[in-house]
């Protein structure tokens, strides 16, 4: 069983920041002012833990799949021989904007004789600016290598019961830290994308984020909840809103005093969680006199590992 686990990627040090940002901007180098601003954001959080979290997630996913594999091969007349002492499941990691790049992971898989694989992204919602771009990179890499193996691509898991339960558990824990949970608003956030991209695929992305939020809210019996967007780019075009800071301002005017924020668009902690939520949104909330608590991220926790393992198993064993 071969898995390509993909994620956004983050620079390992400041020296890689310009190349990383250029890659995010589709090959266009950022103007010095924008680069400087991004550098300051990274400096203020110390370091994004995204690489370490994802590598740990991959190791745990590999372990979980190897634990589960015998369950599936038990009934077979000839069980496949594990081809290496670590077990039969192998998880390769590929990042979109920084090493280890997706193309390199695909090349390594081909060199190691992979004949088929499941590809999954550490992002639960489909959009043209996220999952579609990961898929393009995988397809391009396979094409350049002459299609050495086939891939089943997991495109979304925004209402997977395990994922919804995992998020709900963390929102519930955050609510314990609220003085008056009945009156608090729970905000479910995801990365904003340009409205142009939202419209290009008929609004799939906001619908999926809304569906995650609704599923978690229903599970917890939440009455006061809404979706808000974060981390919109610094461009002139219109981005998906309302921005979390605007939503807080609007609700504060209507009497909001306590809030929980769950970044459902991002399984892991990273720059956009630590800076845009823990620093910026928290500062906005403080200015408004709102007590804001952020629900913990899933990171490499066992309940998220189990969700990814389910998705991989389903894709790997499903009939063609
Ligand atoms: O910790 C880290 O260093 C990396 C954090 C990080 C994650 C992430 C995830 C998503 N993004 C998505 C969409 C866009 C669009 C643009 C864009 C730009 C940036 C910039 C940084 C950045 N993103 Fe990101 N994103 C992360 C970081 N993102 C840094 C550049 C500076 C800035 O604008 O803030 C605009 C560029 C473009 O035109 O493409 C759009 C989406 C996700 C969630 C799915 C995923 O993880 O792939 C959607 C993590």
Which atom of ligand 1 lies closest to the CA of 96?
A: 47
C-beta 242 within 6 A of ligand 1: no
pLDDT at 69: 79
| Phi, psi of 64, rounded to the nearest 5 degrees | -65, -40
C-beta 276 within 6 A of ligand 1: no
C-beta 48 within 6 A of ligand 1: yes
Which atom of ligand 1 lies closest to the CA of 125?
A: 44
pLDDT at 87: 63
For a ligand 1 pocket test, name from 189, 233, 238, 274 the mutation site with the most ligand atoms within 8 angstroms of its C-beta. Answer: 233
User: What's the whole-model pTM score?
Assistant: 0.94
C-beta 271 within 6 A of ligand 1: yes
Q: What is the pLDDT along the chain (320 residues), one digit of tens a residue?
A: 999 999 999 999 999 999 999 999 999 999 999 999 999 999 999 999 999 999 999 999 999 999 987 766 555 555 555 545 556 899 999 999 999 999 999 999 999 999 999 999 999 999 999 999 999 999 999 999 999 999 999 999 999 999 999 999 999 999 999 998 778 999 999 999 999 999 999 999 999 999 999 999 999 999 999 999 999 987 889 999 999 999 999 999 999 999 999 999 999 999 999 999 999 999 999 999 999 999 999 999 999 999 999 999 999 998 76
Residue 33, burial from CB neighbour count under 10 angstroms (0-12, 13-18, 19+): exposed
For a ligand 1 pocket test, name from 157, 272, 274, 276 the mutation site with the most ligand atoms within 8 angstroms of its C-beta. Answer: 272
Give the Cα separation of 273 and 75 in Å (integer).
45
> Which residues neighbour 151 within 8 Å (Cβ) at sequence distance 6 or greater?
4, 116, 117, 118, 119, 138, 142
C-beta 42 within 6 A of ligand 1: no
pLDDT at 75: 54
282 touches 249 (CB < 8 A) = no
C-beta 270 within 6 A of ligand 1: yes
Stated as kind and residue range, the H or E segment containing 93 is strand 90-95
Reported as half-sphere exposure (CB side, CA atoms, 13 A), residue 272 has a value of 21
Selection from 281, 289, 287, 231 nearest residue 261 by Cα: 281
Q: If you take atom 35 of ligand 1, which residue's CA is the nearest one?
A: 233
C-beta 16 within 6 A of ligand 1: no
Q: If you take atom 49 of ligand 1, which residue's CA is the nearest one?
A: 8
pLDDT at 180: 85
Give the Cα separation of 240 and 196 in Å (integer).
9
Selection from 156, 186, 180 nearest residue 168 by Cα: 186
130 touches 41 (CB < 8 A) = no
Give the Cα separation of 127 and 197 in Å (integer).
8
- Residue 96 Cα distances to 138, 283, 301, angstroms: 10, 31, 22
> Which residues neighbour 127 within 8 Å (Cβ) at sequence distance 6 or greater?
193, 197, 198, 201, 204, 205
pLDDT at 81: 55
Selection from 106, 64, 104 nearest residue 88 by Cα: 64
């Amino acid at each position: 069983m071969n898995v390509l686990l993909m994620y956004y990627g983050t620079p390992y040090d400041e020296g890689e920041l310009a190349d990383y940002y250029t890659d995010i901007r589709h090959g266009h180098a950022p103007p010095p002012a924008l680069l400087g601003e991004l550098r300051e954001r990274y400096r203020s959080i110390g370091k994004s833990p995204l690489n370490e979290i994802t590598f740990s997630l991959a190791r745990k996913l590999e372990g979980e799949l190897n634990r589960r594999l015998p369950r599936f091969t038990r009934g077979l007349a000839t069980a496949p021989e594990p081809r290496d002492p670590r077990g039969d499941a192998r998880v390769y990691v590929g990042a979109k904007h920084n090493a280890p790049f997706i193309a390199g992971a695909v090349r390594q898989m081909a060199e190691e004789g992979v004949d088929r694989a499941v590809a999954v992204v550490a992002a639960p919602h489909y959009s043209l600016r996220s999952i579609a771009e990961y898929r393009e990179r995988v397809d391009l890499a396979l094409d350049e290598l002459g299609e050495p193996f086939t891939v089943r691509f997991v495109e979304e898991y925004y209402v997977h019961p395990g994922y919804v339960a995992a998020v709900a558990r963390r929102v519930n824990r955050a609510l314990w830290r609220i003085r008056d949970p009945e009156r608090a608003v729970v905000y479910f956030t995801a990365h904003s994308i340009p409205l142009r991209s939202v419209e290009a695929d008929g609004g799939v992305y906001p619908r999926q984020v809304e569906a995650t939020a609704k599923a978690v809210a229903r599970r917890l019996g939440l009455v006061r909840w809404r979706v808000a967007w974060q981390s919109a780019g610094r461009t002139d075009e219109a981005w998906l809103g309302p921005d979390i800071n605007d939503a807080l301002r609007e609700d504060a005017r209507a009497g909001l005093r306590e809030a929980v924020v769950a970044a459902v668009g991002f399984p892991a902690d990273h720059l956009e969680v630590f800076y845009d939520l823990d620093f910026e949104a928290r500062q906005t909330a403080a200015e408004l006199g709102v007590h804001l608590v952020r629900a913990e991220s899933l990171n490499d926790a066992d309940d998220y590992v189990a969700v990814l393992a389910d998705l991989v198993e389903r894709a790997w064993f499903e009939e063609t």
